[in-house]
């Protein structure tokens, strides 16, 4: 067989199309056009001397040869990717791999990372997906996650509470004077966090359900927060997710803040990594940023009327 870039491109195009079941999806993954993927696969078939797909109007069907070929190619390309990662890790400076929940990364950590990079340009920061539902991994240097700080075998350093606050645009807030006014508003709900509204209502002293004027449900917190910023309705969100938008005035909290803390955010890491230079740098920076976040929390609580301050005992852990 002739080896070369074109041949490797054909193998990559076939593996992606076979794994995803579509030239279009393969093109999206490889950042090329659908026509380019189709052409590369056709050239590969010509070189091999047999068809890899039965092409139907609306679907691709692997031939017997294609079914036999694809699994080995997938394993081979995964091996190449792992080797590339290992070689990339052979750098002179420290590397920090942090498991971060996507919503926390998008709404809190990423907007602050520039200051970390400026302060510690020698540290290469790598972010891995590490939400509350995913287990901690030993190949991570650390993780920032929400919980009650109970992860056996890990040091858990509390950063700030996951306080819930209702938020909306200033325009929507003009029609909201009391939580019962939400009967005329559209509530924004995250599907797997639907109980958060109930927790906030309970902490605010409204033990009878509020029937909103409407409801829009999203699959993730980043989508819900984008909808709030676009004026779709009112959401209850974790304060860290909306602190920057509150500080800039893009969002406001239409009702007095009550300390509806149900969990906290923590920095978690194995004790053996405590002296890792990248982790030391990240810990120092992260705790300084967390202190700023706690300060905002205290300012919001202290600005609540006396009735709201008496509800400081409303701590909900789920």
- At residue 278 the predicted structure's pLDDT band, cuts being 50, 70 and 90, is very high
Is the CATH code 1.10.10.10 the one for domain 95-161+264-295?
A: no
Q: Is the pTM higher than 0.75? A: no
Residue with tokens 């645009």: 169
Going by C-alpha positions, the residue among 15, 9, 7 that lies closest to residue 70 is: 15
Mean pLDDT calculated for residue range 164-180: 91
Q: How many whole angstroms separate alpha carbon 18 and alpha carbon 307?
A: 62
Assess whether pLDDT exceeds 60 at residue 92. Answer: no
Query: Per-residue pLDDT tens for 20-29?
Result: 999 999 999 8
List the chain domain ranges: 5-88, 95-161+264-295, 163-259+305-309
How many CB atoms are closer than 10 A to CB 79? 10
Query: Per-residue pLDDT tens for 225-270?
Result: 999 999 999 999 988 999 899 989 999 998 876 655 668 999 999 9
- At residue 313 the predicted structure's pLDDT band, cuts being 50, 70 and 90, is very low
Mean pLDDT calculated for residue range 174-201: 88
Indicate the burial class of 65 (C-beta count within 10 angstroms; 0-12, 13-18, 19 or more): middle
Question: E strands within the chain?
Answer: 53-55, 60-62, 95-100, 124-129, 142-147, 155-167, 186-190, 214-218, 234-238, 260-269
pLDDT, mean over the chain: 85
Helices 239-248 and 277-302, packing angle to 10 deg: 70
- At residue 162 the predicted structure's pLDDT band, cuts being 50, 70 and 90, is confident
Query: Per-residue pLDDT tens for 27-78?
Result: 998 989 999 999 999 999 999 999 999 998 888 999 999 999 999 999 998 8
Q: How many whole angstroms separate alpha carbon 110 and alpha carbon 116?
A: 10
- For residue 7, the SS3 value is helix
- At residue 6 the predicted structure's pLDDT band, cuts being 50, 70 and 90, is low
Going by C-alpha positions, the residue among 20, 63, 59, 25 that lies closest to residue 44 is: 63
Assess whether pLDDT exceeds 60 at residue 272. Answer: yes
Q: Report residue 14 as tokens.
A: 């076939």
Q: How many whole angstroms separate alpha carbon 277 and alpha carbon 96?
A: 9
Candidates 1.10.10.2840, 1.10.10.10, 3.10.20.30, 3.40.50.620; CATH matching 5-88: 1.10.10.10
In the prediction, which pLDDT does 89 show? 59
More confident residue, 119 or 198: 119
Q: Identify whether the C-beta of residue 20 lies closer than 8 Å to the C-beta of residue 13.
A: no
- Of the chain, the percentage scoring pLDDT greater than 70 comes to 87
> What CA–CA distances, in Å, run from 136 to 18, 94, 98, 160, 313?
32, 21, 10, 20, 31
Least reliable range by pLDDT among 25-34, 111-120, 128-137, 214-223: 128-137
Q: Which class is domain 163-259+305-309?
A: alpha beta
- Would 5-88 and 95-161+264-295 be classified into the same CATH topology? no
Alpha carbon 196 to chain centroid, angstroms = 18
Q: Identify whether the C-beta of residue 136 lies closer than 8 Å to the C-beta of residue 124.
A: no
Q: What residues pair up with 252 in beta bridges, in sequence order?
A: 168
Q: How many whole angstroms separate alpha carbon 186 and alpha carbon 179?
A: 13
Residue with tokens 């076979």: 18
Assess whether pLDDT exceeds 50 at residue 306. Answer: no
In the prediction, which pLDDT does 307 show? 37
In the prediction, which pLDDT does 86 show? 67
Assess whether pLDDT exceeds 50 at residue 300. Answer: yes
For 192-260, the DSSP string reads GGTHHHHHHHHHTT--SPP--SEEEEESSHHHHHHHHHTTS-EEEEEHHHHHHHHHHTSSB-SS----E
């Amino acid at each position: 067989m002739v080896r070369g870039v074109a041949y490797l491109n054909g193998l990559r195009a076939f593996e992606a199309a076979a794994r995803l079941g579509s030239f279009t999806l393969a093109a999206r993954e490889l950042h090329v056009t659908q026509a380019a993927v189709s052409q590369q696969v056709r050239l590969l078939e010509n070189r091999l001397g047999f068809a890899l797909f039965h092409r139907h109007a609306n679907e691709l069907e692997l031939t017997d040869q294609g079914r036999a070929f694809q699994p080995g190619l997938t394993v081979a390309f995964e091996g190449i990717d792992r080797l590339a990662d290992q070689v990339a890790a052979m750098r002179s400076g420290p590397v920090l791999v942090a498991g971060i929940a996507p919503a926390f990364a998008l709404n809190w950590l990423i907007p602050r990372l520039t200051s970390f990079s400026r302060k510690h340009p020698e540290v290469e920061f790598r972010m891995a997906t590490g939400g509350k539902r995913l287990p901690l991994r030993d190949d991570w240097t650390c993780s920032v996650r929400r919980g009650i700080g109970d992860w056996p075998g890990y040091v858990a350093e509390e950063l700030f509470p996951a306080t819930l606050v209702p938020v909306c645009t200033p325009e929507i807030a003009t029609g909201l004077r009391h939580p019962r006014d939400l009967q005329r508003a559209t509530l924004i709900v995250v599907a797997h966090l639907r109980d958060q509204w109930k927790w906030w209502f309970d902490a605010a002293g409204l033990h009878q359900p509020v029937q909103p004027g409407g409801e829009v449900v999203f699959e993730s917190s980043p989508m819900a927060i984008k909808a709030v910023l676009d004026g779709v309705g009112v959401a209850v969100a974790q304060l860290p997710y909306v602190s920057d938008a509150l500080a800039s005035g893009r969002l406001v909290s239409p009702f007095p803040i009550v300390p509806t803390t149900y969990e906290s955010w923590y920095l978690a890491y194995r004790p053996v990594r405590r002296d890792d230079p990248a982790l030391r740098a990240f810990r120092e920076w992260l705790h300084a940023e967390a202190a700023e976040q706690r300060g905002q929390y205290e300012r919001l609580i202290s600005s609540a009327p006396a009735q709201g301050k008496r509800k400081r005992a409303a701590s909900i852990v789920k």
